[in-house]
Amino acid sequence: MLLLKRALQWYKTIIVEPLDPRPTQWPFTGNLMWPLGIIALYVWIVKHKGPELMANRKAFDLKWVLVAFNASQVIINAYLFYLALSLGWLNGYSLRCQPVDYSTSELAMEIVWGVYLYYVVKLVDLLDTVFYVMRKRDRQISFLHVYHHAGMVLLTYIGACYFPGGNSIFLGTLNTFVHVVMYSYYLSTALRPTYHDRIWWKKYLTQLQMVQFLLIILHTLQLLWEDCGYPRWIVYVLVPQNVFMLTLFADFYRHNYLRKPRKGQAQAQAAAANGGARGAEAAAPQQPTKPAPTDTQEGSDRPKEE
C-alpha cells in the first residue's frame, strides 16, 4: 500500500504538476494516457490486427489517397515552418538559450498553438504505416520504422504539454523544412513513378537528414551548461537518439552512395527519424534487378527495410 501511494505521489509530482495548463484545452493533451494509448493502439494495428485482416485480402490501390496525403504533408509542414520563422526566429528568438514564454500573451499562445499542431501532425504521420498495412507492404514495417513514429508522438506530446516553445522550436524548424522537401519528392514520384530514377537530388535528401541530426545534437548539448529553463533530462533523450539516427543514416549513405552495394544487399539500414527512415528510404535507389512498381507512394519508391 505504501509503495502504491509513493508511486501515485511520484506520478503527480513528475507527470501531472509540471503540465502547462494552456494547451490542455485542445484534444489529446493533458493526460499521458493519450499518447501512450494511441501508441499502444498504433502498434497493435500495424503489427498484429492490420496484417491479420489483410492476410487474405488483395492489397488496396491507394495512389490518389497517397497523392493527397503527400500534398497535405507538404502544405502543413510548410505552414509550420512559416510559423517557426515568423513567430520565433524572425521575432527575436535566440539560437542560444531561449526560454519558454509561459504567459498568455497573444504571441505566446500562437507559439503554443504551433507546437500543439506539430504534435497533431505526428499523430497524422501514423497513417504512413497504416497505408503500408493496407498495401500489404509488411516488410516496410520494421522495428525502427514503428519505433520512430511512436517515439515522435511521445516526444511531441511532451513538448506541447510541458514546454511549448523556446529551445524546442529549433528542432521543429529543421524537421518541418526537411519534411517539406521529403514529401515534395514523395509527391512527385507518386504522380509520376518514372521520376524516381530521374530526380538527381535523391541522395541529397539523406545528406539533409544527416545535417539535421547533427545540428539538433549540437544545439541540444548547450543545455548542459546553460540554464535555459529546460529540464536537463531532455539532453539525455535527444542527444543519444539523434546520434543513433545519424549513425544509421551515415552507414546507409556510405553503402549506397560511396560504394556500389552488392546485388541483393539490403538497400536501407537507416529507418525512421524526424521523418525517420523515410528520408533515407526516399533517397535510396531501387535495386536494378527490379522494375519500378506501378502503385506509388513512399513504400513503393523507397527500398524495403531489411
Nearest to residue 79, comparing CAs of 180, 153, 166, 10?
180
The pLDDT assigned to 118 comes to 98
Of 145, 148, 179, 255, the catalytic one is 148
Q: Residue 95 has what DSSP assignment?
A: S
Report whether 114 contacts 84 (CB < 8 A). Answer: yes
CA angle 165, 39, 175 (to 5 degrees): 40
C-alpha 253/C-alpha 282 separation (Å) is: 12
What is residue 159's three-state secondary structure? helix
Q: What is the pLDDT of residue 198?
A: 60
Domain range for residue 72? Answer: 26-283
- Compute φ and ψ for 305, nearest 5 degrees: -80, 130
In a domain, 4, yes or no: no
Residue 206: predicted pLDDT? 86
- The whole-angstrom separation of Cα 134 and Cα 239 is 34
Grid cell, residue 202, equals: 535523391
Phi, psi of 268 (to 5 degrees): -135, 120
**Residue 16 lies inside a defined structural domain of this protein:** no
> Using an 8 Å Cβ cutoff, are 230 and 166 in contact?
yes
**Helix ranges restricted to H, the chain:** 2-11, 33-44, 50-54, 63-83, 106-124, 127-134, 143-162, 168-191, 202-221, 233-253, 277-283
Largest CA-CA distance found in the chain, in angstroms, rounded: 66
Counting the structural domains of the chain, the total is 1
Return the number of other C-beta atoms located less than 10 Å from residue 45's C-beta: 17
Q: Does 140 fall in a domain? A: yes
Beta bridge partners of 10: none
Q: Please give the chain's pLDDT, 306 residues, in tens.
A: 788 888 888 888 888 888 999 999 999 999 999 999 999 999 999 999 999 999 999 999 999 999 999 999 999 999 999 999 999 999 989 888 888 999 999 999 999 999 999 999 999 999 999 999 999 998 889 887 898 899 899 999 999 999 999 998 999 999 999 999 999 988 988 887 766 666 667 788 889 999 999 999 999 999 988 888 777 888 898 999 899 889 888 887 888 788 764 554 444 444 333 444 343 344 333 333 333 333 334 443 343 333
Residue 299 lies in a domain: no
> Is 149 known to be catalytic?
no
C-alpha cell at 280: 533515407
Q: What does the pLDDT read at residue 300?
A: 38
Q: Which residues pair with 268 in a beta bridge?
A: 305
